[in-house]
A and B are shown apart, each in its own frame.
Chain A
Amino acid sequence: MKWIHMYALLVRASIRSRMQYKFNFWFSSIMAAIINVVEFLMLAVILLKFGHIKGWSLAEAGYLYAVLSLSKALYRMFASDVHHLEKYLVTGSLDSLLLRPVPVLLALMSQNFSIKFGELIQGIAILAFSMGTMMQTGQITWTALPLTVIVILSGSVLLFAIGLLTATAGFWITRIEELQNITEDAARTAAQYPMSIYPKWLQGLLISVIPVGFANYMPSLYILRHEAGIWLVGLSILVALALFTIALRAWKIGLARYQSTGS
């Protein structure tokens, strides 16, 4: 409880410092929204022209996309600088976080907190459109709604875990940007599309080595297409929690190895 209170305090401080540059904040929010819209537009243009991709309609593909981008927005909001650990390792500024009377991870998570308005609004809009369409055709019912919320939350834990594991590697190799490009950016981009379009080896990779498939595709098989059973959702949560536990363990080991840079 004490840590949550601390975290909230640090986040508030972070927001205050950010709001010193109001124009910059709003401008970057709007730009982020535009970039996200354009990204989705590419998929929408293809599906509007060709109807479906391997049997996945625009509404279904939109659902996959929206769930993932909402999970990502939550992860990046609440654990923002975990993704930017490299900067701290290279400049040695992690030292100042080590001195604080809070766990280093919590301090890192609260640095540069920003509300991802652009991503949130865009994600919710696409989700509303997709789910609305599917409800009209009777493909899903209202019960899909709470399940979707659960999936988004569990997905954000999963993305956080993947991000944390990647960041932790930084204690050994320092430069992690290239690694992040693979485990976070490429893997997430892959999960934006229905996984059945990929060759088998890539599908296997996305549900085992970098299990980002459990953030949206696997639970959606049950929620949207009523395949297998509700245990798919349970399994997704389990995978997220398991990976998160492993990531925390690894983080502890990594942090113990930390050596500051000389300058």
Chain B
Amino acid sequence: MLFLTLARKMYLSNLQYRSAHLVHNIASALFGLIYVSVWTGIGEGRSLGEYGLNGIISYVAFNQASLWIAAFLNNGLGMEQSVRTGQIALDLVRPVHLFYQLMSKEWGQIAYQFVYKFLPIYALYFFVLPLHVPSSVITYVWTAVALTLAAYISICLNYIIGAAALWTTESRWLYWVNYAFSMLLSGFLIPIEWLPPWLAAISRASFYPFLHYVPTRIYLGMESPSALAGSLFWCALFTVVCLAVTGMMRRKVEVQGG
């Protein structure tokens, strides 16, 4: 099956850099510890709402690990690069839809990152932090579903960012701006209900909460799985947009002269 083949190849090509990625996990885990320390500092002598100190530590730590599933994908699914090299023209004439091709590859990337990034960081936090662990298997299942939907939204988002490169040649900046907004609006560091009202309103009207806030709260047992209806809604909407964008791309391709 094409999907599995593409995903598997991507997984295997990442495997070559396994040891470098494991070193990188040290930095990633450190970032998480910095955020945990911020909340430990804030929590000194204060009660932290429905989360409590341990709750917020688990919240931030789980978010840090799940970055590797829901946020850190290939910049624009690698499209910026293929626009520059002209590879994009070849990719578009293949007998498979471009979105399907790139998405299949990216699932391989995510599978790899789950095994070599998410799991090691999660395991580390499990031992060094008071990390909340769900007591029922059902919670794990729903968390996995939530993260899978988050990953799909992120794939679509990066597809659109990558497609922008056809018009602007460079889309790296869009990737980082999206990342910055996502930090703030997805509830990555600060639970959405603690944002100033105007920011919280923007966040709730967007898809960002479904990347971090909703999955992590499901993991912590603070949100019912029915919240995932929102994830499904955004997945469907993004799929439509991605297909429409591909249609526009077909008419826009310009191969760079070299």
Residues on the B chain within 8 Å of A4, using CB: none
A38, A48, A197: which contacts B183 (Cβ < 8 A)?
Answer: A38
Residue B33 at the chain A interface, CB threshold 8 Å: yes
Out of B26, B28, B42, B180, which one reaches A34, CB within 8 Å?
B180
- Of the residues A41, A43, A178, A193, contact of B37 by C-beta under 8 Å: A193
> Of residues 197 to 248 in A, which have CB atoms within 8 Å of B's CB atoms?
197-199, 202
Contact of B183 with A50 in the complex, beta carbons under 8 Å: no
Contacts of B91 in A (CB 8 A): none
Interface residues on A, range: 35 or more
Whether, in the assembled complex, B167 has its beta carbon less than 8 Å from a beta carbon of chain A, the answer is: no
Please indicate the chain B residues that have their CB under 8 angstroms from the CB of A39 in the complex.
180, 183
Provide the B164-186 mask, 1 if CB < 8 A to any CB of A, else 0. 00000010010011011101100
In A159-189, which residues have CB < 8 Å from any B CB?
A: 175, 177-179, 181-182, 185-186, 189
Q: A75 CA to B192 CA in the complex, in Å?
A: 35
| Distance in Å: Cβ of A54 to nearest Cβ of chain B | 5
Contact check: which of A28, A41, A48 meets B184 at CB < 8 Å? A41
A34 in contact with B30 (CB, 8 Å)? no
Please give me the residue from chain B that is nearest to A192 by CB atom: B34
Cβ-defined contact, A193 with B190, below 8 A: no
- B189 in contact (CB, < 8 A): yes
Please determine whether B37 and A202 come into contact, CB atoms closer than 8 angstroms.
yes
Stretch touching chain A among B75-83, B194-202, B229-237: B194-202
The answer to whether B189 touches A202, judged by C-beta atoms less than 8 angstroms apart, is no
Bound Cα distance A194, B181 (Å) = 24
A190 contacts the other chain (CB 8 A)? yes
Q: Which of A9-58 contact B (CB under 8 A)?
A: 24, 27-28, 31, 34-35, 38-39, 41-43, 45-46, 48-50, 53-54
A188 → chain B, closest Cβ, in Å?
Answer: 10
Q: How far is the CA of A190 from the CA of B176 in the complex (A)?
A: 20
Docked Cα-Cα span, A180 to B135, in Å, equals 39
CB pair A38 B181 closer than 8 Å: yes
C-alpha spacing A84/B112, complex, angstroms: 27
For chain B, give the interface size range. 20 to 34
Given A24-B170, A45-B190, A197 and B27 contact (CB-CB distance below 8 Å)? no
Q: How far is the CA of A181 from the CA of B22 in the complex (A)?
A: 12
Q: Residue of A at shortest CB range from B128?
A: A199
**Chain A residues closer than 8 Å to B24, beta-carbon distance:** 177-178, 181
A182–B27 CB distance below 8 A: yes
Contact of A45 among B23, B27, B180, B196 (CB under 8 A): B196
Question: What's the nearest-Cβ distance from chain B to residue A170, in Å?
Answer: 13
Q: Which B residues are in CB contact (< 8 Å) with A199?
A: 37
Compute how far the CA of A42 lies from the CA of B63 in the bound complex, rounded to whole angstroms: 15
Cross-chain contact A197 with B180 (CB below 8 angstroms): no
Tell me if B42 and A53 are in contact (CB < 8 A). Answer: yes
Distance in angstroms from B164 CB to nearest chain A CB is 12
Asked if B90 lies at the interface with its beta carbon under 8 angstroms from chain A, I say no
The smallest C-beta distance from B50 to any residue of chain A, in angstroms, reads 15
In the complex, are the beta carbons of B27 and A48 less than 8 A apart?
A: no
B44 to A, closest residue via Cβ: A54
Q: Are A54 and B41 in contact (CB under 8 A)?
A: yes
Q: How far is the CB of B113 from chain A (nearest CB, A)?
A: 15
Q: Hey, what's the 0/1 contact readout for B122-154 against A, CB within 8 Å counting as 1?
A: 000000000000000000000000000000000
Contact A31 B173 (CB under 8 A): yes
User: B81: shortest Cβ distance to chain A, in Å?
Assistant: 15
**Residues of A contacting B181 with CB < 8 Å?**
38
B20 at the interface (CB under 8 A from A): yes
* Sample of 5 A–B contacts (CB below 8 Å): A31-B176, A53-B38, A179-B23, A186-B34, A194-B41
Q: B residues near A, CB below 8 A?
A: 20-21, 23-24, 26-28, 30-31, 33-34, 37-38, 40-42, 44, 46, 170, 173, 176-177, 179-181, 183-184, 189-190, 194-196, 199
